[in-house]
Amino acid sequence: MSEAWLGIDLGTSAVKALCVYADGRVEKSRRAYDSLTPEGWYDAAAKAVKALDTSCVQAVSLSSQVGTYIVNGSHVLHWN
């Protein structure tokens, strides 16, 4: 199997994951948040990544919506 690169984007309403393989194949996954909390973000990211074949991933890239998040325990204050 060819090597792959994984991209994860923490967006305003969902986590998007993208796996790009050296042979040109691309897999995509998207999972909406159950809640706008750190746990909700983590759960959505885990589900998005688990939906992809990551067995050959050589590198990971992360991106996020530019904004201000204030985390206080399980509560998150955010711009939207």
Q: What is the pLDDT of residues 10-69, one digit of tens each?
A: 888 899 999 999 999 999 999 998 887 778 888 999 999 999 999 999 999 888 765 666
- Model pLDDT, residue 34: 84
* Contact call for residues 17 and 6 (beta carbons, < 8 A): yes
Task: For residue 12, give Cα distances in angstroms to 16, 38, 58, 63.
Answer: 10, 13, 27, 12
Q: Are 44 and 64 in contact (CB under 8 A)?
A: no
